[in-house]
Amino acid sequence: MWDYTDKVREHFWNPRNVGEVENPDGIGQVGSLACGDALRLTFKLDENKRIKEAKFKSFGCASAIAAASVLTEMVVGLTIEQAEKITNQDIAAALGGLPEQKMHCSVLGEQVLEKAIACYRGRPAGAKEEKMICECFSVTDREIEKAVRENR
Amino acid sequence: MNRIYLDNAATTQAAPEVIEAIQTCFRETYGNPSSLHSFGLEARGVIESARRNIAGFINASSDELFFTGSGTESNNTAIKGIVYSLRGKGDHIVTTAIEHHAIHEPLHFLETQGLKVTYLRNDDNGQVDPDDLKKAITGETILVSVMHGNNEIGTLEPIKELGAICRERGVYFHTDAIQTFGHIPIDVREMNIDLLSASAHKLYGPKGVGLLYIRKGVQMTPLLHGGGQEKRLRASTQDTPGIAGFSRAVELAASEMEKEAGRQSRLRDKLIAALLEAVPESTLNGHPKLRLPNNVNMSFACVEGEAALLNLDMEGIAVATGSACTSTSLEPSHVLTACGMTHELSHGSLRLSLGRTTTEEEIDQVIKVLPPIIAKLRAMSPLYKKQGAK
Amino acid sequence: MNRIYLDNAATTQAAPEVIEAIQTCFRETYGNPSSLHSFGLEARGVIESARRNIAGFINASSDELFFTGSGTESNNTAIKGIVYSLRGKGDHIVTTAIEHHAIHEPLHFLETQGLKVTYLRNDDNGQVDPDDLKKAITGETILVSVMHGNNEIGTLEPIKELGAICRERGVYFHTDAIQTFGHIPIDVREMNIDLLSASAHKLYGPKGVGLLYIRKGVQMTPLLHGGGQEKRLRASTQDTPGIAGFSRAVELAASEMEKEAGRQSRLRDKLIAALLEAVPESTLNGHPKLRLPNNVNMSFACVEGEAALLNLDMEGIAVATGSACTSTSLEPSHVLTACGMTHELSHGSLRLSLGRTTTEEEIDQVIKVLPPIIAKLRAMSPLYKKQGAK
Ligand SMILES: Cc1ncc(COP(=O)(O)O)c(C=O)c1O
Ligand SMILES: Cc1ncc(COP(=O)(O)O)c(C=O)c1O
Ligand code: FES
Ligand code: FES
């Protein structure tokens, strides 16, 4: 099993920026094939095209919650180009490290950010994308079930 | 903060009487039980009286009882011991989909060596169908292993009936009784059991002491080879203090079991009813009636188990979960999956297992604390909002 | 009567500090170390700090240390684990003629499955010749196992040199250090050891707790399959109190070992000299110098060991004849036989093994009591009379 750093605990117990940004400029949602969890990120830019606000929702373990929480803090004030450079290693480092078995939870963070940025670049965000995002997750969900079946 | 321990299925706190017995033995009976001198004689006396006591508890005779170093070792010894000794006669074992890893893993190991294993399907409540067992047994079958009570969902299996089928077909029958031993009655003769595993730390005894009941006449290859202890079936200097503690734990169980099973079942049912009522989209896992007196296992949709567990821990309440995120393999509980549960629901499963010291006040506290935690986590969950909106 | 315990090679009495540590752990740290909640976290803390402490004691790193349920289990795990994992590479093991049953018996079991074993000859003092090892290793050899100190005659083997040979030949080297661990210094790096077994109850720790050191990079198949404990190498709920006790025992050993080895060697040599002097036709078994600090093993011609043992027991003095484990079988010690001893002499062998609490007064008492017992038994012996008449 694993033991968490104080930073992970702190973010898990007092997660920052839980919820959804209103009228987001970017939306991303991912599911983890490894453990079957889901993470959703929404963000909004200010007039200088810097991230003004970011929020998350998570159906995941303590690491996933902490990773998302710290990510929403890390991206604020960054340009899209800067935010894009954030890797899961950066996220884990910001948490003082993650147990090896939980590194993939920080990968969720990196992926969700990628998705949200792609969404921002691809088309203006809106209610439609939100629906599509969910459909997309159910695809992932099916993939998970397939993976589980194959692993039996 | 007064902490509330509701993880007695994982392990129990040794009873004060057990600690006392261990302590006394450490101080006074420290000889090696294999030694010829009086220190050895005294140690042997402690072990043999423990053996008689524990054998009597399950209606075995004392030469059918072997002490081991853990429940896992008992299971490994039973499975590998029968396979190595009967390999000439057949290469097939029947078990169920919801056994503990300490049964599945030795079987997987033996499968790499050519053993064939049939995993019986369990119904959604976790029970196996005796008819399925009848169909699964072939001329090649050398052993059937079905657990008495499941450690995750608490479901009890129809051991006596399964044992009778095996007896009739001339196949050895093993049961992993690690969750039931000391909690509900066991009679190895009446229940047609050939081999049975138990582990002391699940009944307020010490960790690191297990037992294997082997019906007289059953031949098997040892797992630990070495000295002549335990009639050559299990070499190693015996853990006299641990065995003395196990024996004391069994004495306590013998005197309290019936009363405790009643008391804990009542608290269990109260907790289940209250949570089903207070938390929307919650379900009970395992059999509604035929379950361990101390086991509550519930799923809360769209909530991740580890997050719920850690939130409860913050409130001083210790529970377990079958979530994939907490297993080192990142797979959801094979037990919940085998009972037909979706990935999503098994993710949000919590097991609360009561014990001898669990009080009604503690249960009330859980009933108060758990629902808001679930609500808080659902508010964070990207899945729940959607469902709520439906 | 104040009893004198001189069977510390069979087992030791747990030190008061060890009992205290176990007790505290039972009371306070009772969670399952695999559990995620704080009870589990605390138990994990106890185990990992024990692991670091004990690893440091033999210059290993803590991820190379695995807790088991006995010395026998450690030996079985090492031998079977290497054989099952390297069976594709070769089918030959080298060991010595005087290993403990917990090495010989797993090997005999594997021999029935096609393994080939070379048993190196030991000289009359019990030592193996490194040149013999060099000759015995073939392209098929996958493991060499030589004990560090012999449990019967106390002889120490040239582990560092043997290990170097194995390292050079690319063969894994295991040592059964169950008699030496905590008694004389061990440095697994300096001594070229790949695998090492120890057992807590031989160093004033609890029974039922062992350890296996496995050098990083050595791959092996587990013996106990099940849950993910001990990095999947040894499934079973860990015995937290036992491990805490083991750790305390190692702390005590670390601080007292040097002093105690000196003190016990002095008493040992005094006892040997006095008995050789007082009892005609008595001989020392094992190496005169390279021996365990606490081991005295002597043969008294024409005296039967058990009779001598029971006479001493009557006087409150506990000793062994051969090893405790062999006492149930009626064959003479395979160790003494391997060292070239006649049947007759090995029959009359006594092992007196000193411990931390052994006093000079106790040794004086033995020197006073033993010679008349030998004389009395010889007066009864039809063999001795003849010899005496010569
Ligand atoms: C049903 C069952 N089988 C086997 C085991 C393994 O027992 P132990 O951890 O004592 O080796 C457990 C508990 O962990 C269990 O609940
Ligand atoms: C050299 C040696 N190896 C192995 C063992 C077996 O250890 P245990 O009885 O703790 O399993 C012993 C002691 O009995 C021993 O002295
Ligand atoms: S995960 Fe891709 S949109 Fe839902
Ligand atoms: S989200 Fe499943 S392990 Fe972290």
Residues C55-68 pLDDT 10s: 999 999 999 999 99
Neighbours of chain A (3+ CB pairs under 8 A): B, C
* Better pLDDT: B79 or A149: B79
* pLDDT tops 50 at residue C283: yes
Give the per-residue pLDDT at C250.
98
The three-state secondary structure class of A53 is: strand
pLDDT, chain C, mean: 94
* pLDDT tops 90 at residue A34: no
Give the per-residue pLDDT at C100.
96
Give the per-residue pLDDT at A2.
55
CATH classification (class only), A6-147: alpha beta
Distances (CA, A) of B366 to A73, C97, C335: 33, 62, 62
Token couple for C195: 């695998």
Q: How far is CA B243 from the centre of its chain?
A: 19
CA–CA–CA angle A113, A114, A118 (5° rounding): 115
Angstrom distance (rounded) from CA B267 to CA B265: 5
The label of the residue with tokens 């758990």 reads B370
The three-state secondary structure class of C283 is: strand
Kindly indicate the confidence band of residue C330, based on its pLDDT and cuts at 50, 70 and 90.
Answer: low
Angstrom distance (rounded) from CA B249 to CA B54: 10
Residues of A in contact with B331 (CB under 8 A): 148, 151
Q: Whose CA is nearest to atom 2 of ligand 4?
A: B325
Torsion of CA B154, B118, B213, B261, to 10 degrees: 10
Phi and psi at residue B223, to the nearest 5° = -95, -40
Ligand 1 atom nearest residue C229's Cα: 9
- Is B211 in contact with B64 (CB distance < 8 Å)? no
* Better pLDDT: C341 or C318: C318
Kindly indicate the confidence band of residue A122, based on its pLDDT and cuts at 50, 70 and 90.
Answer: confident
**Beta strands B92-96 and B141-145, pairing class:** parallel
- Closest chain C CA to residue B104: C226
The three-state secondary structure class of C227 is: coil
Give residue ranges of A with CB < 8 Å to any C CB: 1, 3
Q: Give catalytic residue positions of C.
A: 325
Give the per-residue pLDDT at C385.
66
According to DSSP, residue B15 is labeled P
* pLDDT tops 80 at residue C5: yes
* pLDDT tops 80 at residue C275: yes
What percent of chain C has pLDDT above 90? 86
Give the per-residue pLDDT at C328.
56
Distances (CA, A) of A1 to A137, B365, C154: 28, 28, 42
The label of the residue with tokens 């025992």 reads C249
Q: Is the minimum distance from the CB of B76 to ligand 1 under 6 angstroms? A: no
Question: What's the mean pLDDT in C351-361?
Answer: 97
CB proximity list for B136: less than 8 A, separation 6 or greater: B94, B118, B120
Q: How far is CA A6 from the centre of its chain?
A: 21
Give the per-residue pLDDT at B174.
98
User: Cβ of B343 and A151 within 8 Å?
Assistant: no
The label of the residue with tokens 């077909």 reads B169
pLDDT, chain A, mean: 81
* Better pLDDT: A129 or B291: B291
Token couple for A111: 């992926």
Question: What's the mean pLDDT in C268-285?
Answer: 97
Distances (CA, A) of C61 to C48, C244, C357: 12, 18, 32
Question: How far C239 CA sits from the closest chain A CA (Å)?
Answer: 17
Angstrom distance (rounded) from CA A71 to CA A77: 12
User: Cβ of B313 and C36 within 8 Å?
Assistant: yes
Q: How remote is the CA of residue C280 from the centroid of ligand 4, in Å?
A: 75
* pLDDT tops 70 at residue C325: no
Angstrom distance (rounded) from CA B379 to CA B186: 46
- Is B309 in contact with C37 (CB distance < 8 Å)? yes
Kindly indicate the confidence band of residue A123, based on its pLDDT and cuts at 50, 70 and 90.
Answer: low
Give the per-residue pLDDT at C322.
66
Cβ count near B369 (within 10 Å) = 16
DSSP percent split of chain C into helix, strand, coil, nearest 5 = 45, 15, 40
- Is C137 in contact with C94 (CB distance < 8 Å)? yes
Question: What's the mean pLDDT in C287-295?
Answer: 97
Question: How far A40 CA sits from the closest chain B CA (Å)?
Answer: 6
Give the per-residue pLDDT at A138.
37
Give the residues of chain B that fall short of pLDDT 70.
1, 385-390
CB proximity list for B27: less than 8 A, separation 6 or greater: C19
Question: What's the mean pLDDT in C357-363?
Answer: 98
Q: Is the minimum distance from the CB of A37 to ligand 4 under 6 angstroms? A: yes
pLDDT tens digits, residue range C76-131?
999 999 999 999 999 999 999 999 999 999 999 999 999 999 999 999 999 999 99
Cβ count near C139 (within 10 Å) = 8
Residues of B in contact with C241 (CB under 8 A): 206-207
Angstrom distance (rounded) from CA C41 to CA B255: 33
* pLDDT tops 90 at residue A146: no
According to DSSP, residue A54 is labeled E
* pLDDT tops 90 at residue C43: yes
CB proximity list for B129: less than 8 A, separation 6 or greater: B120, B121, B123
Q: Which residues pair with B128 in a beta bridge?
A: none
The best mutation among A140, A141, A142 to test binding of ligand 3, ranked by most ligand atoms within 8 Å of the C-beta, falls on: A140
Question: What's the mean pLDDT in C10-34?
Answer: 97
C201 is in an annotated binding site: yes
Q: Domain limits of chain A?
A: 6-147
What b/e sequence results for C241-264 when a residue is b if at least 16 CB atoms lie within 10 Å of its CB, and e otherwise?
A: bbbbbbbbbbbbbeeebeebbebb
Q: How remote is the CA of residue C266 from the centroid of ligand 2, in Å?
A: 25
Cβ count near B313 (within 10 Å) = 19
Q: How remote is the CA of residue B234 from the centroid of ligand 1, in Å?
A: 19
Distances (CA, A) of A139 to A105, A136, B124, B308, B378: 19, 5, 26, 26, 22
DSSP percent split of chain B into helix, strand, coil, nearest 5 = 45, 15, 40
Kindly indicate the confidence band of residue A100, based on its pLDDT and cuts at 50, 70 and 90.
Answer: confident
Kindly indicate the confidence band of residue C332, based on its pLDDT and cuts at 50, 70 and 90.
Answer: confident
Rg (CA), chain C: 22
Q: Is the minimum distance from the CB of A78 to ligand 4 under 6 angstroms? A: no
The three-state secondary structure class of B195 is: strand
Neighbours of chain C (3+ CB pairs under 8 A): A, B
Question: How far A39 CA sits from the closest chain C CA (Å)?
Answer: 22
* Single-letter amino acid, residue A105: C
Question: What's the mean pLDDT in C250-274?
Answer: 98
**Beta strands B295-300 and B317-318, pairing class:** unpaired
Kindly indicate the confidence band of residue A3, based on its pLDDT and cuts at 50, 70 and 90.
Answer: confident
User: Cβ of B314 and A13 within 8 Å?
Assistant: yes
Question: How far C54 CA sits from the closest chain A CA (Å)?
Answer: 21
* Better pLDDT: A130 or B6: B6
Q: How remote is the CA of residue C298 from the centroid of ligand 4, in Å?
A: 64
Cβ count near C298 (within 10 Å) = 22
**What are the structural domains of chain C?**
4-11+257-389 (3.90.1150.10), 16-252 (3.40.640.10)
Q: Is the minimum distance from the CB of A63 to ligand 4 under 6 angstroms? A: yes
Which ranges constitute the DSSP H helices of C150-239?
159-169
